[in-house]
Structures are given as C-alpha cells and as structure tokens.
DNA sequence: AGAGGTACCTGGCAGC
DNA sequence: TGCTGCCAGGTACCTC
C-alpha cells in the first residue's frame, strides 16, 4: 500500500526518465477510479512536454506546461515504467506512451486512486489547498503540532492522520510513531504535552525516513515490475502485531478501533 | 467548527 | 469446493 515513503520512492524512480519527454499517446482502459478520469484526458495530454515530476502529500504531480496531472495511488495503485509490449494485466488502467519503447503504466486493483487533469494554479486546487505541512519539511515542528492540537478533543492518532494537520501519515506510520513516542493512540489531542509533541514529531520523521530508506529496495521491485508488498514489514513494531508480545517489554499488544481504523498499541509502553 | 460515520473497491481470508 | 461475509486501506463528503 503506497504511503508517503513509497510515493516518494516512485517519484525518485520515475522522474529522471519522464522529465523532458513528450507524451505521444494516452490509453485509458478504465475511467472509473475514485473520480472518473476525464474523457478528454488523452486528447488534452498528447503533445505535452513533462517539465517536472514531484510530490505533495501522497499526490504525484506532473507539470505539463499548460496544466498539471495529479495522480494519487489510493490504496493499491502502482506506477511502473515498462516496455511497451509488456503483457497487459487485469488492472492496468492507463498507459502514457512516449517516443521510446517504454511506457508509464498505472495499475490499481481497488481503484481508490485518482488521475486528474487541471489547468488551475496548484495552490488553488481543492485537493491541495487545505493540506497541512510535509512531515519532513521545516514547518512540521513540535511547536506547530502542539498549537494545532489545542482545543481538539479527538484521539491524537486521528489528528495525526488528518491531512490538514500534517500530510502523509497513514494508519501504519501513525501507529508506529505513537509507539515510538510512547503515547497512547486514544489520548485526547489537547492533553498531549509539549514534550510529547517533541517526541512525536521526531518519531514521525524517524519512521518515515527509515521507510524511505527501505523504499530503495522497493524501487528495484518497482522498476523490475515484480512488486513486493512486504517492504518495511520487518521493522514494524506494532502495526499488524496485535496479540503478539511487545518487542520492548513483552506485554501483549492490544488492538482498538479509532476513526474506523484498527490501531495496535502496547498498553504498557503507551499508558493511557 | 469539530467529530464521527459512510462511501468507494477488490483481494484475501475465515467460517460455514 | 464454493459460498458468504468481513477486513484492510486513504480521503472526500455527509450528517449531527
């Protein structure tokens, strides 16, 4: 499942190939993603030059001169550079062709992803303008987090996953960061202390950077088109380990639902 | 405005 | 074996 580290890995992997190329042809086999792909997408994109490929939150952003292609991988999306005669699989929804024998292929079994074309300035785009700071950027500081949590009674984990507070922290990394910071996931956000905010900011950055470092491994699979979903799993301390002993204290890890999401934590290391 | 719930979708798995 | 039902996940949108 693509979280921020994997999206970053995808960007790092494809940008050097894509930047400077001109889109020659677009094939859309499945329009029904999270939002339907514009029926004119192919018509709009053909002939455009890819100036820049970058990431904001979990969105991949292709700057194409007169407009922008926004791609979200949702839960199960993949972007691969493959040979133009690579065999077509069931959920290969979109291909971008260039003046070479390689294509960019978008695959997404669960179709929670999105591919949107916009000519509006990016800072005004409704999907981007409400986003909080990047977790690895200079704005995400203990002070910032502490102030954003004031007056909020919701569980800290829910706010950590709220993209208006900070982007890119999904269910896995929220659980891992709270464990590292030794904060109970259900703790009301306004009761999290300044000191805990310091630990939490560091923990979020640490788990994300560790995963990005591991993403290098994923990158190979990604380029080879083999796909290995097991990345980073060896390093997970709590996620997916409910009922198993805590690596730190051997206490049995608990599971609870917060915001409809399963949340694993250690009742001993993360006291209420 | 904030909090909680729902919808979208499919593969994988448990239980019958 | 085959069916049913639940779960996982990100995020916009709806309701209270």
Q: What are the pLDDT digits (tens) for A231-241? A: 455 578 898 88
H or E stretch including A217? helix A194-224
Q: A149 or A122: which carries more pLDDT confidence?
A: A149
- What percent of chain A lies above the pLDDT cut of 90? 52
Contact positions of strand B to protein Cβ (< 7 A): 2-11
Q: Which residues contact A111 (CB under 8 A, 6 or more apart)?
A: A30, A32, A33, A34, A74, A76, A91, A93
- What percent of chain A lies above the pLDDT cut of 70? 92
CB atoms within 10 A of CB A237: 17
- Is the overall model pTM greater than 0.85, yes or no? yes
Q: Which residue is nearest to nucleotide B4 (CA to C1')?
A: A259
In the complex, which nucleotide's C1' lies nearest to the CA atom of residue A164?
A: C11
Convert the pLDDT of each residue in A149-201 to its tens digit: 999 989 999 999 999 999 989 888 899 999 999 999 999 999 999 999 999 99
In the complex, which nucleotide's C1' lies nearest to the CA atom of residue A7?
A: C10
Q: CB of A247 under 7 A from strand B?
A: no
Is A224 a residue whose pLDDT tops 50?
no
Examine the residue annotation and report whether A261 is marked as an active-site residue of this protein: yes
Examine the residue annotation and report whether A250 is marked as an active-site residue of this protein: no
């Amino acid at each position: 499942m693509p979280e921020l580290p994997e999206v970053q890995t995808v960007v790092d992997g494809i940008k050097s190939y894509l930047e400077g190329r001109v889109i020659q042809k677009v094939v859309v086999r499945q329009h029904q993603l999270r939002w339907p792909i514009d029926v004119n997408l192919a018509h709009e994109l053909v002939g455009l030059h890819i100036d820049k490929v970058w990431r904001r939150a979990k969105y991949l952003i292709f700057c194409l001169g007169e407009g922008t292609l926004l791609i979200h991988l949702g839960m199960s999306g993949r972007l691969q550079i493959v040979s133009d005669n690579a065999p077509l699989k069931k959920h290969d929804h979109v291909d971008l062709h260039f003046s070479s024998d390689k294509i960019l292929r978008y695959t997404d079994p669960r179709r929670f992803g999105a591919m949107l074309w916009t000519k509006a300035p990016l800072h005004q785009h409704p999907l981007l303008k409400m986003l909080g700071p990047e977790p690895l950027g200079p704005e995400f500081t203990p002070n910032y987090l502490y102030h954003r949590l004031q007056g909020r009674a919701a569980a800290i984990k829910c706010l950590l996953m709220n993209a208006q507070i900070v982007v890119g922290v999904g269910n896995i990394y929220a659980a891992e960061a709270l464990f590292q910071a030794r904060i109970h996931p259900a703790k009301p956000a306004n009761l999290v202390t300044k000191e805990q905010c310091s630990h939490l900011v560091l923990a979020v950055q640490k788990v994300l950077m560790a995963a990005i470092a591991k993403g290098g491994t994923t990158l190979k699979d990604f380029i080879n088109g083999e796909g290995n979903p097991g990345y980073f799993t060896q390093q997970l301390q709590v996620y997916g380990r409910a009922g198993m002993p805590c690596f730190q204290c051997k206490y049995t890890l608990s599971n609870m639902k917060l915001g409809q999401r399963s949340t694993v934590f250690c009742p001993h290391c993360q006291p209420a």
